[in-house]
Amino acid sequence: MSSFSQQAVLGWYGLYDYLMGTDERPVTVSLIGDSGSAFSLMSLPGSFKEVRHLIPADMLLETMQRASRVPARIALKMPFLRPKRYYQHITIPTLVFVGTEDNVTLPVATVQNVIATPRLDMKAYECGHYGLLHGELFPAAMADCIDFLKRHLVPSSD
């Protein structure tokens, strides 16, 4: 299914949820689905596969059926979200990881969005969107997190 067709389907579901759904009983769509799924907010190649690595096998089916469903009205707001305008106002030290093979949040877009952050510390890893949360890159990413926290939270002995 084309990107335009997928957005049109999600838009219709979003409108239906906005008009007919309630906060207690929304019309839902899947947050993550197989590539090209018209009923998923994130359905780029590899996104479903990457998320599966984060969920224990005995909980996978239940988690994907329940926890990954979101109100469809979110699809109506997504085209208007512009996170870039907020980064320049962040005043605290900020650590951003960029996956160079990310197909959910494209690396170039991530860098363009966060580059205006005043106290930015950016690290790039050769992985997808969730690649730092499991596997061989996890220890290195955690070491970067600990280093960042030590530099910004632990008082210097000077």
Per-residue pLDDT of 36-93, as tens digits, reads 666 777 766 666 666 766 766 776 666 666 667 788 898 898 888 888 889 999 999 9
Question: Does residue 25 sit within a domain?
Answer: yes
Percent residues over pLDDT 90 in the chain: 37
Whether the CB-CB separation of 129 and 97 falls below 8 Å is answered with no
Given this model, what pLDDT does residue 133 score?
A: 86
- Euclidean distance between CA atoms 98 and 110, whole angstroms: 7
Please check whether residues 18 and 57 belong to one and the same domain.
yes
Where in the sequence is the domain holding 7, given as residue range(s)? 3-79
Percent of the chain having pLDDT more than 70? 77
Q: What are the φ/ψ torsions at residue 151 (nearest 5 degrees)?
A: -65, -30
Residue 158 lies in a domain: no
Q: Average pLDDT of the chain?
A: 83
